[in-house]
Structure 1
Amino acid sequence: MDKGKTIRIYLTDGTVAGIRHAELINWTGQAISCPRNHLSALANWHESTRPGVYFLFGLDDETAQPTVYIGEAENVYVRLQQHIKKEKNFWKEVIFFTNKDENLTKAHIKYLESRLVDIAKIAGRYLVLNSNTPTCSSLPISDKAAMEEFIRNLSVLLGSLGHRVLEPLADFENKPTTSNSTIPANPNLFYIHTKNEKNLATAQRTDEGMVILANSRALIETYSSLSNGNKDLRVALVEKGQLRQEGNYYIFTKDVLLASPSQSASVVLGYSVNGREIWVNVEGKSLKALEEESMKK
């Protein structure tokens, strides 16, 4: 079945840096992205006065980690003005979602807010500033199904506007829970084996890079061949608690996205290495070999 979607984005001032209106063809939802310094211009957008959910995006002042606050409002523009007065200073951009019709009620947006906070926390890409997950409103089964579809479409638009905050780093289907789990036949899973350790680390190859899966292990010793950038990266992962020493190994405490096969393999092994040769699938074929095979087809 064709899962393709068509997105239409209107740039109000002809640049991607200004206010953008985005919609999926044949969907009644809509998104508006607005930089904080253009917020007053939303007064001219009747879409901003509707009930909806919103995302405030920024960076943590100390760690530069992407951060998000997720909220709901019966009038989004009024709520955003309140956030300005309350001096929520971290955010630089807001993206909000409303409906083109009048079918989003207070119960609907409360349900959406609760689910979106929960999904964003599970995805783990951004630091979610909501201290608690809001209470999920009770809806009829048919309305819940409609809101879950709204969330799926919302996530597509949100990603197209530059924020994959709701998307998990790795595909949870057939994902092993520990490094010693039975290896599933997933074509996107790859492994690092050493002379002494089988399945030292497990990673999922994605369009963004290599996601080292939680409970994978890494060697503790760092060798001189490891680049300074990757040395700093290992230190940062330890400081963030994403790498924790247990016995003779570091353990990845959560899924970690790294830019390339070589970077991810070097972080695991503690020395520079060609990741396309080191990462192998369940059949023992390296990434390099698989890429070469695919080019021959």
Structure 2
Amino acid sequence: MSYGEMVGRVVKIFITGQDPRSLRTVELDNWTGVAITGQPEFFKKALEAEVLSRSCVYLLIRSGADDDLPEIYVGESDDFSQRYTSGKFPIEFDTFLIFTSKDDNLTRAHVKWLELKLWAILRGNSGKVVVANLNTPTGSNLPRADIATMQTYLGNMIYVLEALGYDLFSVKERTSTSPTGQVEQRDDEAQSLIIDLYSTLPKRLEDRAFLRYEDGTYVLTAGSKINSRITESLPSNVRKLREQLIRDGGLIERGDHLELTRDIPFSKPSPASALVKGRSSTGYQDWLRMADGVPLGAVLGIAAAVRDLVGAAQ
């Protein structure tokens, strides 16, 4: 048995009731933390959970269309069971996730520290998510021992979020949650698929943006040209990303176009091409392989077919 086969973690999901979409309680092996998640219609039921009378950090998530980004609100409370009894939420959402502890060791200072750190990480992954908070969380000053403990708690939060299918973090942030503190060995075949892609600005074939696919992540690279004009079809959260990049210097004017000044990772190719073109976009068609101009969707389809043939032959 190889090292990669031995490393793993157990995520336990308990579903309340008959509906698999209902309220879920999520636990991770050797962790006193717990997450409660569900859709809006199960929110009131979640407030009945005894653990939510303790200090919590939470996420309200509004999913995006295929060419848009999800929007997330990050918050904290010292008694979540009383937080939203009026039902007035900061954003509309389709999923909530509330993180707390099965014991009383998570304090208000802890969750304020976690809120700020999680907010900062998500803000740093601006190509994967739009953070809805208008103001920066205040955070808290913790002793060094508590900071070490909360770093572990934060890593477990990230692990649970990724295990539930939320691709919100970088590869480094994901692998840093390994229980051994080491990066796990990934499948050689998965590592070998690296695709360099380009897309052109509308009606300007000589002006290009560049995207790299590697480790399941799409990175829009610095120096890419971005359309200076936008249309009404540009998805709302990509529009917010564009505005944020212009404000913080991530996009600068270069005559008749904008230019990206830093690499931006994306979970999907379509929001990246929507940002480039200034309109709604299908990334699997609009991103073309540098070597031969084949659309990304066809490249990935061929790669999947080859993997299937190799697997059948073994």
TM-score range, shorter chain: 0.5 to 0.7
State the AA in 2 paired with 1:75: D
Correspondences of 1:215-294 after superposition (within 5 Å): 215-217=222-224, 241=242, 246=254, 251-252=259-260, 254-259=264-269, 263=283, 266-267=286-287, 273-275=294-296
Trace 1:182-197 onto structure 2 (pairs within 5 A): 190-191=195-196
Task: Report deviation, 1:187.
Answer: 6.1
TM-score with structure 1 length normalisation? 0.67
Change (3 A) 1:275 1:65: closer
Instruction: Give the counterpart of 2:78 among 74, 77, 84.
Output: 74
1:4-19 equivalent positions in 2, closer than 5 A: 4-19=8-23
1:23 matched residue in structure 2: 27
The question of whether the paired residues in 2 share the 8 Å contact of 1:53 and 1:70 is answered with yes
Query: Could you tell me how far 1:119 is from its partner in structure 2?
Result: 0.8
**Counterpart check, 1:153 vs 2:173:** no
Q: Which residue of 2 aligns with 1:175?
A: none
**Alpha carbons of 1:216 and 1:25: their partners in 2 closer, same or farther (altered >3 Å)?**
same
1:237 CA displacement: 6.8
- In structure 2, the CA distance between the partners of 1:87 and 1:263, relative to structure 1 (3 Å rule), is closer
2:82 is paired with a residue of what secondary structure? helix
Q: Which runs of 5+ in 1 are unaligned?
A: 173-185, 221-231, 280-286
How far apart are 1:89 and its partner, in Å?
Answer: 5.0
Runs (5+) with no aligned partner, structure 2: 174-190, 199-205, 228-232, 246-250, 271-281
Query: 2:259 & 2:284 partners in 1: Cα distance?
Result: 14
Matched to 1:20, the amino acid is: R
- Counterpart CA distance in 2 for 1:138 and 1:219 is 41
Pairwise CA RMSD: 4.5
Tell me the amino acid that sits aligned with residue 204 of structure 1.
Y
User: In the TM superposition, what are the counterparts of 1:95-244 in structure 2 within 5 Å?
Assistant: 95-124=97-126, 125-165=128-168, 167-168=169-170, 190-191=195-196, 201-207=210-216, 211-217=218-224, 241=242
For CA contacts below 8 A with separation 6 or more, give which structure has more relative contact order: 2
Deviations 1:187-235 (A, max 9, x none): 6654359xxx9x973513233xx51333153698xxxxxxxxxxx889x
**How many corresponding residue pairs?**
255
Name the aligned partner's letter for residue 196 of structure 2: Y
Cα pair distance change 1:91/1:98, threshold 3 Å: same
